Amino acid sequence: MEQLKNKFLNELSQELGTHYDKENILREYETHIDEIILESFEETDHGKLEDLLFTRLGSPEEIAAAWQEELSVTPSNMKWLFILLNIIFFAGGSFLTLIHNLYQWSWLTSIWNHLTSIPALIAFLYLFFWALLGYEMGRGFGHGGRKLLRKTFLLSLIPNLILMMLTVFEIIPHSWFAPLLTKTFIIACIIFTIFLYPISMLGYRWGRKASI
């Protein structure tokens, strides 16, 4: 069994070549191979076990090809993409709030009233955004995506914290967020923010499994 694992990993190592995350990829696949061997401890036929590895994980050539494709999306590009999306989300919301309170256009008031009537749905969609962030980091960068996720999360959280401070210190008038800004809503936002990172980590772990 050990010989089969070493053969698989050696072939995978050769196929990966100079991939920047080669060592982490090999460690990750070694773990999965150990799990498969443990699950199939009664199987003594090396040929059948090798077929099982290829079925569950893919051949070393297929695995390496999949990881080489991921090189087209660099960690830096992925990080700044999600940071930009979060900024756009907040900038759009801030612009809508500002225009609504300055001009009181009827069509904009209608949109505002509709949005403020579905805070739970908006919160769910925002949670999905953070779960997607973690998933893409895990799927695209595997073990190395954990550190990238942490950096991206902290940078993406800056607009959230700025808005929270501006609101708490009443630099932004509370009346602008009527009828949302209640004690219950503020507490919910704090709890919601605390859960963003765990949600991202769940997405990351799911993405790592999906990359195998």
**Which pLDDT score, from 0 to 100, does residue 199 have?**
93
Largest Cα–Cα separation, the chain:
76
Summarize the confidence of residues 19-28 as an average pLDDT: 82
Q: What is the pLDDT of residues 122-139, one digit of tens each?
A: 888 888 988 988 888 888
Query: Token digits for 9?
Result: 């990993």
CA 42 distance to own-chain centroid: 38
Nearest alpha carbon to residue 142 among 207, 57, 65 = 207
Question: 85 Cβ partners below 8 Å, 6+ apart?
Answer: 129
Contacts 24+ apart (CB under 8 A), 201-205: 201/134, 201/149, 202/131, 202/134, 203/130, 203/131, 203/132, 203/133, 203/134, 203/135, 203/137, 203/138, 204/134, 204/135, 204/137, 204/138, 204/145, 204/146, 204/149, 205/134, 205/138
Nearest alpha carbon to residue 160 among 122, 196, 128 = 196
Q: What is the pLDDT of residues 50-99, one digit of tens each?
A: 888 888 888 889 888 877 765 555 666 777 888 888 888 888 887 887 88
Query: Token digits for 85?
Result: 């999306």
**Which pLDDT score, from 0 to 100, does residue 211 have?**
65
In this prediction the pTM is 0.56
Q: What is the pLDDT of residues 47-64, one digit of tens each?
A: 788 888 888 888 889 888
Q: What is the pLDDT of residues 162-212, one digit of tens each?
A: 877 777 777 777 676 665 666 676 777 778 888 888 999 999 988 887 766
Residue 145 or residue 13, greater confidence:
13
CA 154 distance to own-chain centroid: 13
**Which pLDDT score, from 0 to 100, does residue 74 have?**
61
> In a 3-state reduction of DSSP, which class is residue 158?
helix
**Which pLDDT score, from 0 to 100, does residue 69 have?**
62
> In a 3-state reduction of DSSP, which class is residue 66?
helix
Residues 131-149: b if buried by 16+ CB within 10 A, e if exposed: bbbbbbbbbbbbbbbbebb
**Which pLDDT score, from 0 to 100, does residue 158 have?**
85
**Residue reference for tokens 């995350």:** 21
Instruction: Using the predicted structure, report yes or no on whether residue 41 has a pLDDT greater than 80.
Output: no
**What is the distance between the alpha carbons of residues 57 and 38, in angstroms, rounded to a whole number?**
15
